[in-house]
Chain A
Amino acid sequence: MKSVIAWTGAVICVTAQTLAGVDHPDFSFRLSADGVAGGGAASDFGSVHQVSQTEWLFSGSYGATSGTLLSWTYLIDPDPFVTGTFTLTNETATARDYVVDFSLSIAPPLKASLLAGQAAGSLTDANGSGSALLTSLGGGFIFSALADETVVQGLMANASQQVSFANGTSSFSGGSFGFPTPIAGPAIDLTIGIRFAFSLSAGDSVSFSSVFVANPVPGPTSLLVAAIFGGMRQRRRF
Chain B
Amino acid sequence: MRSVIPNQYTLACGSTVAIFLAMPCSAAFVMAGTSIAVSSSAGTGTLSNTLAQVSPNSWTATGSWSTASASVSWTNNTFSWNGSTQSGFANGNIVVRNNTSAAQNFSVVINMGGAVTSPLSFGGSLGGQFVNGSTLPGNLASDGPVWEARADNGLVRSELHNVLLVAQPFQVVSIGDFSFSNSLYNGTVTNSVSLGFSMRLSAGGEASFTSTLALQTIPAPGALALVVLASAFERRRRRR
In the complex, chain B residues 200-216 whose Cβ is within 8 Å of any chain A Cβ: 206, 208-214
Chain B interface, DSSP helix/strand/loop, else mixed = strand
Give the residues in chain A near B210, CB-CB below 8 Å: 87, 122, 124, 169, 205-207
Closest Cβ–Cβ distance, residue B7 to chain A (whole Å): 16
Q: A49-B68, A73-B206 are in contact. Are A85 and B131 (CB under 8 A)?
A: yes
Category for how many chain A residues contact B: 35 or more
A120: B residues at CB distance < 8 A: 129, 172-174
B76 touches A84 (CB 8 A): no
- Any chain A CB within 8 A of the CB of B57? no
* B10-18, B25-33, B120-128, B184-192 - the one binding chain A: B120-128
Q: How far is the CA of A209 from the CA of B130 in the complex (A)?
A: 8
Residues of the A chain whose Cβ atoms lie less than 8 Å from the Cβ of B99: 51-52, 55, 57, 75
Which residue from A71, A84, A125 sits with its C-beta under 8 Å from B93? Answer: A71
Would you call A179 and B177 a contact (CB within 8 A)? Answer: no
A32 within 8 A of B: no
Most A CB within 10 A of own CB, among B66, B124, B127, B213: B127
Contact of B75 among A69, A209, A210 (CB under 8 A): A69
CB distance from A127 to the nearest CB of B (A): 9
Q: Say yes or no: A85 contacts B170, CB within 8 Å.
A: no
Q: For the complex, give the distance between the alpha carbons of A47 and B68 in Å.
A: 12
Does B168 touch A at the CB level, under 8 Å? yes
B40 on the interface (CB 8 Å rule)? Answer: no
Q: A165 to B73, Cβ gap below 8 A? A: no
Alpha-carbon distance A197/B163, docked complex (angstroms): 32
B139 located at the interface, meaning its Cβ lies under 8 Å from any Cβ of chain A in the complex: no
Q: Whose C-beta in chain A lies nearest to the C-beta of B130?
A: A209
- Asked if residues B211 and A169 are in contact (CB atoms below 8 Å), the reply is yes
Candidates B73, B174, B178, B214; contact of A59 at CB < 8 Å? B73
Q: Assuming the A-B contacts A57-B99, A171-B176, are A124 and B127 also in contact, with contact meaning beta carbons closer than 8 angstroms in the complex?
A: yes
A61 at interface (Cβ–Cβ under 8 A)? yes
Do B212 and A125 touch (CB < 8 A)?
yes
Flag if A122 contacts B76 (CB, 8 Å).
no
Task: Give chain A residues whose Cβ lies under 8 Å from the Cβ of B128.
Answer: 122, 171, 207
B75 contacts A171, CB within 8 Å?
A: no
A residues near B97, Cβ cutoff 8 Å: 57, 73, 75
Pick the contact of A126: B78, B123, B206 (CB < 8 A): B78
A238 to B64, CA, bound (A): 60
22 contacts between A and B (CB under 8 A): A51-B99, A71-B76, A71-B93, A85-B95, A85-B208, A87-B93, A120-B172, A120-B174, A122-B174, A122-B177, A124-B91, A126-B78, A166-B181, A167-B179, A169-B127, A169-B179, A169-B211, A205-B76, A205-B91, A207-B129, A207-B208, A211-B172
Knowing that A71-B73, A124-B212 touch, tell me 13 more A-B residue pairs with CB under 8 angstroms.
A51-B99, A73-B73, A73-B206, A73-B208, A84-B206, A85-B208, A121-B129, A167-B124, A170-B177, A171-B176, A172-B174, A207-B128, A209-B130
Q: Which residues of A contact B (CB under 8 A)?
A: 47, 49, 51-52, 55, 57, 59, 61, 69, 71, 73, 75, 81, 83-85, 87, 89, 116, 118-126, 128, 163, 165-173, 176, 179-180, 205-207, 209-211, 213
